[in-house]
Amino acid sequence: MLSASMALSVAAQESKPVKSSISVGSDFASQYLWRGFVFGKGPAVQPWGEVSYKGFTVGSWGNYELGGDFKEVDIYAKYTHKDMSLLFTDLFFPGYAGLNQHYFTFGNSTTGHCAELGLSYNYSGKFPLSFYAGVIMYGAAIDTRPADSIQVNHSTYIELKYNGNLNDLSYNFFIGITPGKSILYQTKGFNVIHIGAGAQKTIKVTESFSMPLKLTLSTNPVAEKIYLTLVLSL
């Protein structure tokens, strides 16, 4: 999620100013690609906004398919210390068939919510790598245990990414895996479900406005699918 941000300085009495920030933006995606799966049938608008204070961040992210029915509204909280971040995300799917559409209904086996707890690490040394591992903690209707449809399976996704730069272009290579059986990720055990490469470049539109452009080529070997996705950020 990339956008211009508005920085605010908050000064406490008898202390040095503490910087906080409010950031808002929106992406336009040629398709909604998530961990080797495409949701919806066409392009989507993905607005977002967040508030940060010291190492804490609270925000929201959404997906609205243009001319289609797939929608998603997420609320997340993150704490970052140095190169490590702990992230909790509540995902809600308005209009998803078979799920309860009342936002404040949290019955585990029917709710339209699910929640993931994730941990990320970013190393920016000579060989810059980022690592993410996320576990579904709630929402059996989304993450059903194969042997028990009213229990959460605790499906896990792990991704390793190499990040590099070449002139004014940033690029990455990534691989995403699931360590176990999962209906959510359509795997029967350990599998690679997302592998590919991405490139990002900032396009200067005017003297005061630039637009980040990201292109990703990836495949899901389990589903035998390949994707080429373009994202423009405002």
Q: What is the DSSP string of 5-39?
A: EEEEEEPPTTS--EEEEEEEEEEEESSEEETTEEE
**Residues 161 and 173: beta-carbon distance below 8 Å:** yes
Amino acid (1-letter code) at residue 89: T
Alpha carbon 74 to chain centroid distance?
Answer: 10
* Among the listed residues 75, 86, 77, the one whose alpha carbon sits nearest the alpha carbon of residue 57: 77
Helix (H) or strand (E) holding 31: none
- Burial level of 203, CB count in 10 A (0-12/13-18/19+)? exposed
Q: What is the pLDDT of residue 18?
A: 54
Residues whose CB is less than 8 angstroms from the CB of residue 216 and which lie 6 or more positions away in sequence, other chains included:
33, 196, 197, 198, 227, 228, 229, 231
d(C-alpha 147, C-alpha 141), whole Å: 13
Distances (CA, A) of 21 to 15, 59, 79, 141: 18, 12, 14, 36
Q: What is the pLDDT of residue 109?
A: 87
| Phi, psi at 227, each rounded to 5° | -135, 145
Q: What angle do CA 72, 74, 79 make, to 5 degrees?
A: 155
Instruction: Identify the segments of the chain with pLDDT beneath 50.
Output: 1-15
Q: What burial letters (b/e) apply to 172-198, b meaning 16+ CB within 10 Å?
A: bebebbbeebbebbebeeebebbbbeb
* pTM of this structure: 0.88
Q: What is the pLDDT of residue 13?
A: 40
Domains and CATH numbers, the chain: 5-215+229-233 (2.40.160)
> How does pLDDT run across 62-95, given as a tens digit for each residue?
999 998 889 999 999 999 999 999 999 999 998 8
The residues facing 24 across adjacent strands are 49
Q: What is the pLDDT of residue 9?
A: 32
> How does pLDDT run across 125-154, given as a tens digit for each residue?
889 999 999 999 999 999 999 999 899 999
